[in-house]
Structure 1
Amino acid sequence: MLPSLFIAHGSPLLAIENNAYTEFLNRLSGRYALPKAVVIFSAHWESRVQKIGDVEAYEMIYDFGGFPDELYRIRYPARGSRATVEAIEEQFALEGIAYEKDGRRGLDHGAWVVLRLLYPQADVPVVSMSVNPNLIPEEHYRIGQALAPLRERDILVIGSGGTVHNLAGLNRRNTGVESWAVQFDDWLADCLEHWDLHALFDYERRAPFAHEAVPWMGNEHFIPLLYAMGAADRAQASKLLHRSYVYGSLSQSCWQFG
């Protein structure tokens, strides 16, 4: 059975950089069997009702500005998966989770940057999923739980975001690592390794520097972790595969669940 994954996508520059993190992501897919499809929750697709991308062939969304022209020339010709969409619909219906299908939206950089590093040939079908920042953590986790049976069908569930993602707190000189970012990630790692849902769901009050790591009105990058973790609720096993930082505090982490 495939695990579920949380993968930090950091800056859009990740798509053209060559560093320890990109090398790690290039190798990551080799750890697992080739999935029949990928279901990916991206921090850059927000909606008040859960959306499912029901697209035959995805267009590119360049949802960033002021970056090198090279980024805007990248193409990732991902195709959708009608069978996987139907499987998601079936699970949401069983669990009473409201949803809507979207047949037009392309892939934003939270999705295509990650997918291009994992599967550069675009040979794995993709179903994009939105995130809802207005839900409480338990509800994000429950949506992930509903998708747990997909893993038994060799479908890979990915949450793409960032555990520490505060653009106002970045060190543009890219020197050193902020201690507050490390302290938050250390606290989070302890929660994940012990599968401490009570603490995790209450991270805003319990975690050190929670409001610096996950700023007010900025939880869209953190919550993909909860969808990915929920998809492995039956196993409740976690493993940190990579952690590094850029710009002082922007966390580049990857967690395996299940």
Structure 2
Amino acid sequence: MTAKTIFIPHGGGPLPLLGDPQHAGLTAFLRTLPDRLPRPDAIVLISAHHEGPEIIIGGAEKPDMIYDYNGFPAETYEYRYDAPGAPALAAEVADHLAQAGVAARIDPDAGFDHGVFVPLMLMYPKADIPVLTVSLSSSLDAGLHLAEGKALSFLKERNVLILGSGLSFHNMRSFFRPTRESMVASENFHDWLVEILTSTGLTPAAREQALAAWDEAPDARVCQPREEHLLPLHVCAGFASAAGQTAEIIFDEPLIRHRAIAVLWQ
């Protein structure tokens, strides 16, 4: 069994769980996504909402909930996703990141933010698969996140799911007030991103170079004013590059009137 690698959009706060019509396509996609995957023994999840000065690895046996949104119905602050953690796997990940020169630490109190529990409540509602959270670096350095993914490649022959949870378009002002310009920018950036991820004419080195310089892409900073929602894709892409996996776009639909993609590497 080999690892599967996926980058998914997790939507806006808890809206995918609330029947929001602008999230209907994403909600249906996440619910049916496990049908095309082998059931993993563990999930290693990189969330856009988890970062630190070094990479933070979740070390809790029973991670708690983090309701990192506001202004939503009371029920959304009572959601539970009681999947077990994976402390033994956390120690392995910490060791391999250290060997790769990527600064990291284990946090025994790390919990599940909404970039973790919202998609997993839809994908694996029984919460019976161990989940290990691995953070971003607050440096937001694209090359470092590609290296983070490569350091996780020791998992490539295991039955694990490497899951990056973010959004390929994350301009909050444009979400609340969509404009013709922001929607054109979304098209331009996503056309570039899909080409870079899937083109058979690119060598792995050229693809990594392009992703490292992602902010030079058309309308990149319109779509990602602060790139934390894109960088889980870089971690997945780094893992996939080291594991010899190729990318397929498995979701490409409007989300709040802007494109959102999901990528499967195998």
Structure 2: distance between partners of 1:2 and 1:158? 10
Equivalent AA in structure 2 for residue 3 of structure 1: K
8 Å contact kept, 2:4–2:160 = no
1:208 aligns with 2:209: no
- Matching residue of 2:264: 256
Residues 58, 87 of structure 2: 8 Å contact kept: no
Q: Which amino acid aligns with 1:243?
A: D
Q: Hey, what's the Cα distance between the residues in 1 that align with 2:178 and 2:215?
A: 29
In structure 2, what is the Cα distance between the partners aligned to 1:200 and 1:175? 26
Cα offset, 1:123, TM superposition: 0.8
TM-score, normalisation: structure 1: 0.92
Using the TM superposition, give the Cα deviation of residue 116 of structure 1 relative to its aligned residue in structure 2, in angstroms: 1.2
Report how far residue 92 of structure 1 moved: 1.8
Check if 1:232 corresponds to 2:243: no
Structure 1 residues 166 and 135 mapped into 2: Cα distance closer, same or farther (>3 Å)? closer
> 13, 16, 41: which one pairs with 1:14?
16
Count of paired positions:
254
Cα-to-partner distance string for 1:100-140 (whole Å, 9 max, x where unaligned) = 11011210001111111111000100011111141421211
- Deviations 1:162-186 (CA, angstroms, capped at 9, x unpaired): 1110001124579998121111111
Q: How far apart, in 1, do the equivalents of 2:118 and 2:126 lie?
A: 13
Distance 1:145 1:182 in 2: 29
2:251 is aligned, of 211, 227, 242, to 242
CA, structure 1 residues 174+114, in 2 after alignment: closer, same or farther (shift >3 Å)?
A: farther
Q: Aligned partner of 2:11: which letter? A: G
Q: Which one-letter code corresponds to 1:235 in the other structure? A: G
Gap change, CA 1:135 and 1:114, over 3 Å in 2: same
| Aligned amino acid, residue 227 of structure 1 | V
| Counterpart code for 1:242 | F
1:163 aligns with 2:186: no
- Bigger shift: residues 194-203 or 123-132: 194-203
| Identical pairs, percent | 33
Task: Indicate the residue corresponding to 1:197 in structure 2.
Answer: 208
Q: Which consecutive residues of structure 2, in runs of 5 or more, have no partner in the other structure?
A: none
Summarize the Cα distance change of 1:40–1:182 in structure 2 as closer, same or farther, 3 Å threshold: same
3-state DSSP class of the match of 2:250? strand
Specify the SS of the correspondent of 1:58. Answer: coil
After superposition, the CA RMSD in angstroms is 2.0
Question: Residue type of the partner of 1:157?
Answer: I
CA offsets per residue over residues 177-215 of structure 1, 9 Å max, x none? 81211111111000001352222211212x111110111
Inter-partner Cα distance in structure 2 for 1:160 and 1:82: 21
Q: Measure the CA separation in 2 of the matches of 1:221 and 1:188.
A: 14
Aligned counterparts, 1:47-196, within 5 A: 47-172=52-177, 178-194=183-199, 196=207
Structure 1 unaligned runs (5+)? none
Q: Cα distance, 1:155 vs. partner?
A: 1.4
Residue 191 of structure 1 aligns to a residue in which SS? helix
Normalising by structure 2, what TM-score? 0.89
